[in-house]
Amino acid sequence: MRQPLVAGNWKMNGSKASAETLLAGIKEGMGGISKTEVLVCPPFPYLGLAVSALAGSRVAVGAQNACTEAGGAFTGEVSAAMVKDVGCIYVILGHSERRQYYGETDEIIAKKYAQALAAGLTPILCVGETLAERERGETQSVVARHLDGVMETAGIEAIARGVIAYEPVWAIGTGMTATPEQAQEVHAFLRQRVAAKSAEVAAGVRILYGGSMKPDNALELMSQADIDGGLIGGASLKASDFLAICRA
C-alpha cells in the first residue's frame, strides 16, 4: 500500500513574513489529515525557518534543488548534504523549470539524484512533456527518457529510494490540468517501465501528479489507480487550498 504524498513546491515565491504565515496556517490546519504524508518545499533561505516552524508537526520539509557536487568550490550552489543538515527530508530534482531555464540535462539530474541519495535525502524526480511533444505523440518517449536518465545510471535501487512526479509542462501554472485519464495513462506507463526492471519497486514507488492541481480537481486525479499524490505549485501558496488538496 503506497502512502499518498502531497508536496507543495513554493518555487521562488514569498518572503520571510509570508512564509511564516503560510507555515503556521498549514501546521494549524493539519487536524484530520492522517493518511497523507504532507511536505512543503520553500526556497533555500526559508528552509531552516520551515523546519523550526513545523517542528512537532507531521509536515516534512524539502528543497527545490541541490548541487551535482558534494561540496567545495562551487560558488552559489547548495549541496544535498546541507539541505539534509538543516532538517530536510526530500529534494525536488529535474523540475521542468530547471530543465528549461537552467539547462539541466538528464545527465545533470542523474548526478544530483545520486548526491541526494548519498546525503540521505529522498529525491522527487520530475518528468514531463511539453505541449509540442505531446502533440507530436512523443509523451511516452519523453517521460521514458527522463525516467531512464536516472534509472539507467543510478539503477533500479535508486528509483526505489525516491519518488517520481509526472508534471506535463503544458499543465504547469496554466490552469490546464491533465484530465484524470490523460494523467493515469502516463502514470501507468511510468510504473510499467519501472516494472520492467522490478515488479516490486514498481508496486512500491509513489508517482505524484503535478500541473494545475487544485482543491476542486485533486480528488478525481488522486482517485486514479497509479496517482499517489500531488506536487502542487500555485495552490500550495495558500494554506486553505493546500490543506484541501491534502484532505482529498
Residue 231 carries which side chain, given as an amino acid letter? L
- Cα–Cα distance for residue pair 185/188, rounded to 1 Å: 5
- Cα–Cα distance for residue pair 42/11, rounded to 1 Å: 7
Phi then psi dihedrals of residue 72, to 5 deg = 115, -150
Please say which residue, 80 or 213, places its beta carbon nearer to ligand 13P.
213
Please say which residue, 187 or 201, places its beta carbon nearer to ligand 13P.
187
User: What residues does 92 pair with on adjacent strands?
Assistant: 124
Contact call for residues 86 and 66 (beta carbons, < 8 A): no
Specify whether 167 is catalytic: yes
Contact call for residues 163 and 203 (beta carbons, < 8 A): no
CB of 237 to ligand 13P, least distance (A): 9
Catalytic residue among 95, 129, 146, 187: 95
Catalytic residue among 104, 129, 167, 187: 167
Specify whether 146 is catalytic: no
Residue whose beta carbon is closest to ligand 13P: 233
Please say which residue, 201 or 228, places its beta carbon nearer to ligand 13P.
228
Please say which residue, 201 or 229, places its beta carbon nearer to ligand 13P.
229
Residue 154 carries which side chain, given as an amino acid letter? A
Please say which residue, 130 or 198, places its beta carbon nearer to ligand 13P.
130
Q: Which residue's C-alpha cell is 515565491?
A: 13
Residue 87 carries which side chain, given as an amino acid letter? G
Please tell me what DSSP assigns to residue 122.
E
User: Helix, strand, or coil here: 90?
Assistant: strand
CB of 196 to ligand 13P, least distance (A): 27
Please say which residue, 205 or 208, places its beta carbon nearer to ligand 13P.
208
CB of 167 to ligand 13P, least distance (A): 5
Residues in contact with 197: Cβ distance below 8 Å, sequence separation at least 6, in sequence order = 151, 156, 159
CB of 85 to ligand 13P, least distance (A): 24
CB of 197 to ligand 13P, least distance (A): 26
CB of 171 to ligand 13P, least distance (A): 6
Name the grid cell of 184: 493515469
Residue 158 carries which side chain, given as an amino acid letter? A
Binding residues vs ligand 13P (CB under 6 A): 9, 95, 167, 172-173, 210-213, 231-235
Residue 207 carries which side chain, given as an amino acid letter? I
C-alpha separations of 192 from 98, 167, 205 in Å: 26, 18, 11
The set of catalytic residues is 95, 167
